[in-house]
Amino acid sequence: MARTRISISLEQDQAERIRQHAERVGMDVSAYLVHAATRQMAESDAIEEQFAEVDALIARAERAADGLPAEAAPEPAAELTEQERREVEEALGLVHGRDRQGRRPGHAA
Contact 27, 35 (CB under 8 A): yes
Cβ partners under 8 Å of residue 32, min gap 6: 18, 21, 22, 25
Q: What is the pLDDT of residues 72-91, one digit of tens each?
A: 666 766 688 889 888 888 88
Contact 33, 18 (CB under 8 A): yes
pLDDT of the residue at 106: 55
For the chain, the maximum distance between any two Cα atoms, rounded to a whole number of angstroms, is 72
Q: What is the pLDDT of residues 36-74, one digit of tens each?
A: 999 999 999 999 999 999 999 999 998 888 878 877 666
pLDDT of the residue at 103: 62
Measuring CA to CA, which residue among 55, 59, 109 is closest to residue 98?
109
Q: What are phi and psi of 8, to 5 degrees?
A: -125, 155
Query: Domain limits of the chain?
Result: 10-71, 72-109
